């Protein structure tokens, strides 16, 4: 794998992670407005986006299992940090959507 290919994977991870995170926040805004079905659909989009991350990450893992050393760079660490952050945000927002829905139902019973 060339250095350009390696960097393309890293920048792909960064870009995809940012897209997943911003889409997750869109779901949170929908839930805040009481649009729970739209929030859940948007969270499905997040899962699809994050699925693309797995492909990019596997390219790096396959490179290493083929005997090629991966360049351990600050850029790679940054990309993986952003990836893990987007996954944590996804998990948190899933919980918040559930919580908003419970609160909405309780408000309706008052």
pLDDT tens sequence across 54-84: 888 888 788 888 888 777 788 889 999 999 9
pLDDT tens sequence across 13-47: 999 999 999 999 999 999 999 999 999 999 999 99
Are 93 and 87 in contact by the 8 Å Cβ rule? The answer is no
What is the pLDDT averaged over residues 78-101? Answer: 96
Instruction: Tally the domains of the chain.
Output: 1
Domain extent, residue 44, equals 3-108
How far is the C-alpha of 48 from the C-alpha of 12, rounded, in Å? 15
Q: What CATH number is attached to the domain comprising 91?
A: 1.20.58.80
The phi, psi pair for 61, rounded to 5°, reads -65, -40
Q: Which of 29, 32, 78, 105 is catalytic?
A: 78
**Does the annotation mark 78 as catalytic?**
yes
């Amino acid at each position: 794998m060339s250095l350009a290919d390696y960097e393309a994977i890293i920048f792909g991870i960064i870009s995809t992670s940012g897209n997943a995170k911003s889409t997750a926040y869109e779901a949170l805004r929908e839930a805040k407005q009481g649009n729970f079905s739209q929030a859940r659909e948007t969270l499905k989009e997040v899962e699809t986006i994050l699925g693309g991350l797995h492909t990019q990450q596997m390219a790096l893992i396959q490179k290493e299992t083929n005997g090629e050393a991966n360049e351990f760079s600050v850029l790679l660490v940054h990309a993986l940090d952003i990836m893990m952050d987007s996954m944590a945000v996804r998990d948190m927002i899933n919980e918040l959507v559930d919580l908003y829905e419970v609160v909405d139902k309780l408000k309706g019973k008052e």
